Amino acid sequence: MDELQYRQMYIEEDRHWWFLAKRAFVRTMLSTLPTNLKILDIGSGTGGMSAYLSGRGTLLAIEKSPYAIPYLRKRNITYQHRSVQLSSFKPNTFDLICAFDVLYHKEMGNDRRVVRKMYQWLKPGGTVCVTDCAVPLLFSHHDRVMHAAKRYWLSELTAILKKEGFIITKASYIYFFTFPLFVLSRMIDAVHPYNTMKPLPRALNSILITLCFMESYLLRYVNFPIGSSVLIVAKKP
């Protein structure tokens, strides 16, 4: 992403429905974990999720983009300014490793290789939490702006984690209730590209937040059949 996109992300990620929903989904999935974890956040962006995760233990963020670094500093996030490909940690170092909307990125290269590194760095019994963009058929201008290489089917990303040795404990699509709006937005984006990160009217933003908070509650009990993103939680044996 360019510098303006990072600035907009920092401004919006504590109020925009999409960012708040992602936080709610992840909070639901990680709520049973202890709060003294050693955590790695891969591709932390401007640090909104890192700030939340830091409440569950000692966090280290990895972020390659120089545009994101000033915002990580503003949030007092401990970080390494480098790509995951060039990062190196001792095996069995972390209790929790998160990769939120990272594997789809062009600069990731071989996504399976990144997952393999996550497996090596994770302690036995540790947890990974991965989210990413879903439904390849809906790849759009927005994805190109975000430097995306692909979108995933849930079965595809689940298979990658399984092949590297992970045991899947939760695998679901997310943003199920808002998926019709997502499809509509992609149809509009195909004809008239626009900035999907811009602020929404307050009432609409509140409605979408409410829908996603309801979904995050139900996510404890069900796996959703479709959505604009996927969420996978897995363990290292």
pTM of the predicted model as reported, rounded to 2 decimal places: 0.94
Residue-wise pLDDT tens digits, 199-217: 889 999 999 999 999 999 9
Predicted confidence band at 196 (pLDDT cuts at 50, 70, 90)? Answer: low
- What pLDDT is recorded for position 192? 74
State the average pLDDT over residues 178-187: 91
By mean pLDDT, which of 7-11, 13-17, 95-99, 183-187 is the weakest?
A: 183-187
CATH number for region 3-235: 3.40.50.150
- What pLDDT is recorded for position 31? 94
Q: Which residues is 173 bridged to in the sheet?
A: 224, 230
Predicted confidence band at 197 (pLDDT cuts at 50, 70, 90)? Answer: low
- What pLDDT is recorded for position 145? 73
Which structure tokens are listed for 84? 């995951």
Average pLDDT, the chain: 93
pLDDT higher than threshold 80 for residue 146 = no
4: Cβ contacts below 8 Å, ≥ 6 apart: none
Q: Which of 126, 124, 110 is nearest to 34 (CA)?
A: 126
State the average pLDDT over residues 103-112: 86
pLDDT over 70 percentage in the chain: 97
Q: Distance between CA 137 and CA 135 in Å, rounded?
A: 5
State the average pLDDT over residues 86-114: 92
Spell out where 101-236 has E strands. 122-133, 167-174, 229-235
